[in-house]
Amino acid sequence: MVRQIRLIKTTDLKHIEDYGKKRVIWLRDKIIEEGVWKVPLKVEKELNLVMDGQHRMEVAKELGLSVVPCLIYSYEEVEVWSLRKNYEVNADLIVERVISNNIYPYKTAKHAFPEGSDLECEFTLDELRNIEVIK
């Protein structure tokens, strides 16, 4: 399957787990230094759940980006498991926790994506700040 990058409103994205503030600062500085956004977030197609890219989502907010490049997936095509022994993780539980405003702790949910998931992009930060997306 050939994936295409979609631009999704930053405000429409939802965390499935927490993130590290130091990692956000490091990543923000790296992206500013490079001047371009290269790695799309991996997002669940129904609810815009960020499967991979919690830190990039926060960087996008900090930088005032209107939209973020994303690759879209369904949980039927993605394997998911817990990195923590005391937490059960599956697609239904992820959705349930997001809806109940009880996301997983940082570094809990892990996803394995199908082949071709390493697609990169190159958008300037100004492009992502100023693009308007119509649903």
- The rounded distance, in Å, linking the Cα atoms of 18 and 71 is 20
pLDDT score of 134 more than 80: no
d(CA 40, CA 7): 9
Assign 133 a pLDDT band (cuts: 50, 70, 90). Answer: low
Pairwise CA distance, residues 47 & 97, whole Å: 13
For the chain, percent of residues with pLDDT exceeding 70: 96
* pTM more than 0.85: yes
What are the backbone angles phi and psi of residue 59, rounded to the nearest 5°? -60, -45
CATH of the domain spanning 6-75+115-130, picked from 3.30.450.40, 3.90.1530.10, 3.40.50.1100, 3.30.465.10: 3.90.1530.10
Give per-residue pLDDT as tens, 13-28: 999 999 999 999 999 9
Domain boundary assignment for the chain: 6-75+115-130
69 neighbors 43 (Cβ within 8 angstroms): no
